[in-house]
Structure 1
Amino acid sequence: MAHTEHDADIVPVILGGDIGAYAIGREFHEAYGTRAVAVIQDPIGIILHSRIFEHERVETIGADDVRAALERIHARNPGKTLVVVTNSEPCIPAISAIRDELPYVVTPTPRPEVIEQVSNKDRFNELCRANGLDVPETELVRLAGTDPIAPSELPFPVVAKPALSPEYAHFINQGFKKVYFVERQEQLDELWRDLRAAGFAGSFLVQELIGGDDTYMDSITLYIDSTGTPTLFGGANVLLEDHAPAMLGNPVAMITAPMPGIWERCAKMLSDIGYRGFANFDVKRDPRTGRSLFFEVNPRIGRNSYYNCAAGANPMRFCVEDLVHGRRVEPVRIDNEILYTLVPTRLVRRYVRDPKLLARLDALIRAGRVYDPQRYRADAGLRRMIDVMLTELNQVRKFKRYYPEPTDTSF
């Protein structure tokens, strides 16, 4: 997929202002040489001080403010198609609300009715089983109302997490965690009490704990084009995840790996329900049985989308060729092995206990096949590189505080 004469006809618009948003902007810049516009209240330093980004400030990420921002961007770029991408769960409702109102907007975000199907835990588990994908034992707990909540029937320890991320996002700002590791029923009862007292009326999932440290996690990235054909198949073995309470479960280092068989089943499951656009699956291999268990599918590209690009398949090309130019793209299955990391490699090495995996990691470091989306030569201004170094330093501090040593459950 070489550069096309139409590359100047697009304006990449990214809702969000974190590392994941920076990576998407970099992917557009690598593919088309275009600057992206970040639409967010306050972007992080590496976007604010970037040469490849403009910044369109909004008061909120509600539909009205986002619509007004897109209208302003369009007024400055008449005749161009705005390719609106987000990797931020709280921004998805705004895209759903306005996607069909503005004729100059295209988006690889799936339609709301399809998102609802994969976000509904019971339905997701049903779809997985129908496609030969295993899921952990799960209970759905509804916190709305005041009825007493029955004790869990799963053996402890268990994992508890919100069933729908968008409705929970602002509770994280109040000090609630993204994921809870729960050893006793009393702790679960206390969590339900605290959530209700804070006004949370959504649902939580209680799941069996699948053992194994971060290195048992896998990530899968897919793009399903507008005809329902899967064109991008990416996958990676996680080496290390973030352990700060608000970021828990976000990978910070991974090695790309092909996942034949699983890829096809995931893609078929999505195509069959009319899913179009990017999808990112969280999977964990059970150390006891070796089977892969599917936790969820995110209706977005994933914070670590750059691992696909580093391995030779730029995700933004698949989306632009499909949505802007209406061209069929030959499906790509990524089999090129690279190390993707947001943290210093010496930190990653400390947490990899499997000798075979450590040997793979060291071989990639020696071969110079190490990629960090923040470190981009075409965007290496001094102010931004200081931001990158401060971010990395902060990561080292966070691990010291929240996860000083690897554990057998990653909690």
Structure 2
Amino acid sequence: MQHQVLFLGSDESIYGSAREIHEKYGVKSTIIAAANPLTATRDSQIVNIKIINGINDDPKFIKEMLKLGEKVKEQQQPTILIGSGDKYAALIAKHKHELSTYFVIPYVDYDQMIQLNHKESFEKIAAKYNLAMPATRRLSKADVTGDLHSDWGYPVILKSDNSVEWMDLWFVGHKKIYFINSDEELNKVIKLAYTNGYTGTFTMQDMIPGDDSFERNLTAYIDQNHKVRVISMGHALIEDPGPQGRGNHMAIMPDYNETIYQQYVNFLEDLKITGFVNFDLKYDQRDDTYKVFEMNVRLGRSNFWASLNGVNWMSYLIADYDGTLTNEPVLFANKNQTEWQVWLAITPRLFKKYARANAASQQALQLIAAGKYGYTYKYEADWNYRRFLNYWRANRNFSKYFEKYFKA
């Protein structure tokens, strides 16, 4: 392992990546947090945590990162910079030129990141490559007129196009994703958002019928020569039911679809990008297609589900820049169903209680009964009394949380 990885953030995504490094190389990772570490990395023995208050915003971000860069330069060990979530990814891409003096930056340029992450511009790119998408309409501040309506009927999905700006806002009624059921509700939400300072646009989409088990997560790593080296598809089973967590997966089972794999490999390689990407898809039984909602130029929060099923994302990243990544064809992950494991963010008991009754959840329950399941957080080599207590408290809170928000 010639390259080390410096992580920004302390969430579950970062812990999963640090765990991958520890499992593969036996090495502790260093993470930088903007405040006290989140539960995922708290009391961990496989990470060294450095807290720099406010580093998740400019101008402090670039000021502190350049200081860290000087120290990295003195150590003379090449360092790859990885951030959690949209915010850190955007900050790294925005300052890619300055940071590249000190770090390896496996992200696209900022302008391209915005183009791919922003739903309106991504929609045009997806159409060019014949990627199926739900019927979509863009809404802006100019639409605060009180007479908005949906051309497809209801329900519809409403989501901000600028996730970084939206994440920094807070007001009563603020949600990550809205499920709108009437003209009145649509107009109310739009007015509420712009009254409380939102400046970006919204995407309103036809709501594809079907529960959480119709959703898929597609993740890939593209090397520095713009070749996809591995692509893995996950079958979402149940999502976070709360207002701020909708879209966050709570259970994922592997999936395999060679047609989708090849279509997205062609798409990604034609874009000439590098690094990690993930897509949210949903199967539309009305026309037998997988429709894409959005593209994120980063790893997802629950990316460890793929590592649980044999894809160690960090080993691909490190081998790429170490120069040891073998020149093999792209790996289409999860072909062998006998090796499948279910990734969980909740206990098996809660999954059994709240997962919808369907063929996918039944298959997942069979795998769980056979002991073929795991968690990002629960790592035997990093298990101690404090982490057990954190885990116990989190599960107790999840039980109350699902009871409060889950709708049958």
Normalising by structure 2, we get a TM-score of 0.91
Tell me which residue corresponds to 2:67. 71
CA distance in 2, matches of 1:21, 1:383: 19
Greater Cα offset, 306-315 or 102-111? 102-111
Q: Secondary structure at the match of 2:241?
A: coil
Q: Deviations over 1:210-248 (max 9, x none)?
A: 111111110001111111110011111111111111111
Tell me which residue corresponds to 1:408. none
Q: What is the CA distance between 1:296 and its match in structure 2?
A: 0.5
Residue 364, structure 1, aligned to residue 367, structure 2: yes
* Unaligned stretches of 5+ residues in structure 2: none
* Unaligned stretches of 5+ residues in structure 1: 1-6, 406-411
Q: Secondary structure at the match of 1:48?
A: coil
Tell me which residue corresponds to 1:247. 245
CA distance in 1, matches of 2:10, 2:168: 17
Q: Secondary structure at the match of 2:98?
A: coil
Residue 263, structure 1, aligned to residue 266, structure 2: no
Q: What is the CA distance between 1:156 and its match in structure 2?
A: 2.1
Residue 27, structure 1, aligned to residue 20, structure 2: yes
Instruction: Say which of 348, 357, 360 aligns to 1:345.
Output: 348
Q: Secondary structure at the match of 2:245?
A: coil
Residue 181, structure 1, aligned to residue 184, structure 2: no
| Conserved 8 A contact 1:37-1:53 | yes
RMSD: 2.2
One-letter identity of the residue aligned with 2:82? V
Q: Deviations over 1:354-407 (max 9, x none)?
A: 4432331132113321010100011001111211221122122111111142xx
Residue 213, structure 1, aligned to residue 211, structure 2: yes
| Conserved 8 A contact 1:224-1:230 | yes
CA distance in 1, matches of 2:322, 2:203: 38
Relative distance call for 1:11 and 1:315 in structure 2 (3 A) is same
Greater Cα offset, 388-397 or 194-203? 388-397
Greater Cα offset, 349-358 or 208-217? 349-358
Q: What is the CA distance between 1:199 and its match in structure 2?
A: 1.0
Tell me which residue corresponds to 2:48. 54
CA distance in 2, matches of 1:268, 1:116: 21
Normalising by structure 1, we get a TM-score of 0.90
Tell me which residue corresponds to 2:169. 171
Q: What is the CA distance between 1:149 and its match in structure 2?
A: 6.8
Relative distance call for 1:329 and 1:313 in structure 2 (3 A) is farther
| Conserved 8 A contact 2:228-2:268 | no
One-letter identity of the residue aligned with 1:196? Y
Q: Deviations over 1:149-183 (max 9, x none)?
A: 76234222211110121121112576510111111
Q: Secondary structure at the match of 1:47?
A: coil
| Conserved 8 A contact 1:338-1:371 | yes
User: What aligned pairs does 1:215-364 form with structure 2 within 5 A after superposition?
Assistant: 215-325=213-323, 327-330=325-328, 331-335=330-334, 336-364=339-367
Relative distance call for 1:200 and 1:353 in structure 2 (3 A) is closer
Q: Secondary structure at the match of 2:287?
A: coil
Relative distance call for 1:198 and 1:353 in structure 2 (3 A) is closer
Q: Secondary structure at the match of 1:101?
A: helix
Q: Deviations over 1:63-94 (max 9, x none)?
A: 44334246337627701122211231111222
CA distance in 1, matches of 2:172, 2:97: 34
